[in-house]
Amino acid sequence: DQVCLEWSGLDGRDYRIEGSEVLGGAAWELIGETRLEGEVGQTCLPLTTPYRFFRVALLSEVDSEEPVLEITQYLDPSISMMDGQVCLRWEAMEGVFYHIEGVASLDFQEQWTLIERIDPSMEEALYCIELPAEFFFYRIAVLEEVDQGGNSTIDPTPVDYDSAAIGQVLLEGDSVVITWTGDPSDVFRLSYATSLLGPWMELEAEIRSENSQFRFEDPQALEMDAASPRFYRLDKWVMP
């Protein structure tokens, strides 16, 4: 009653296992990380896993005490034409890196392509691309330094998830409030994305309630650019 992944690799190296519900697109999610003992790696998941497609990535060898860059959000740039170029502008953020990404269409089979990486020394949040260009849609990935502190990112008590239904998304004061119902024994995970194409980022890993009414308040949602609304996804824990 399991689906098992097996691959050939390098002894002593770390690997990242990712899954996706659709083939293509950017909606790859972290399943776990493992260190290979030998030259063959294997990991197994229950057949109830929501993922249908999988991939395994070899992690680069870096000093675990040094900060690494992680994508924390996506921005929708304003787009204009200038001197035979398509130019992207966005609100600059201090001390962050950017990835300029493009895609030819918004079909789920299309994958976003990295066009350029920009470091924090840039004076203006502007990037122009010569026409004709192979892409028609663009987004800006924001990368920030996250200090890993030498701690393992492997969840010591991994769980599986089933999709769950959100009841309502309401505006209350300065926050967006998400509500739904469940059993008092249920535990939920809430994720968000700034695009329906993903990637989905964990907003809260463990949400509980003393009764059947669940509620989560997201004050950050209204601080974002109005052109980049948040989309929410709810998953229920399935304990092993």
Average pLDDT (130-134) is: 83
pLDDT at 146: 63
Q: Which amino acid is at 3?
A: V
Is there a contact between 91 and 225 (Cβ–Cβ < 8 Å)?
A: yes
Average pLDDT (41-52) is: 85
pLDDT band at 89 (very low <50, low <70, confident <90, very high): confident
pLDDT at 122: 61
Chain-centre distance for alpha carbon 17: 14
Comparing 86 with 120, the larger pLDDT belongs to 86
Q: How many CB atoms lie within 10 A of CB 227?
A: 11
C-alpha span between 56 and 60 (Å, rounded):
13
Is there a contact between 20 and 111 (Cβ–Cβ < 8 Å)?
A: no
Residue 229 scores a pLDDT above 80: no
SS3 label, residue 161: strand
Residue 16 scores a pLDDT above 90: no
Residue 179 scores a pLDDT above 90: yes
> CA geometry: angle at 146 spanning 145 and 148, to 5°?
140
Residue 37 scores a pLDDT above 80: yes
- The full length of the chain comes to 240
**90, two tokens:** 């966005």
Average pLDDT (92-104) is: 84
pLDDT at 153: 37
Single pTM value for the model: 0.38
Of 75, 124, 70, the residue nearest 100 (C-alpha): 75
Average pLDDT (116-127) is: 75
Average pLDDT (165-172) is: 87
What is the signed CA dihedral for 58, 59, 62, 63, rounded to 10 degrees? -120
**40, two tokens:** 């063959």
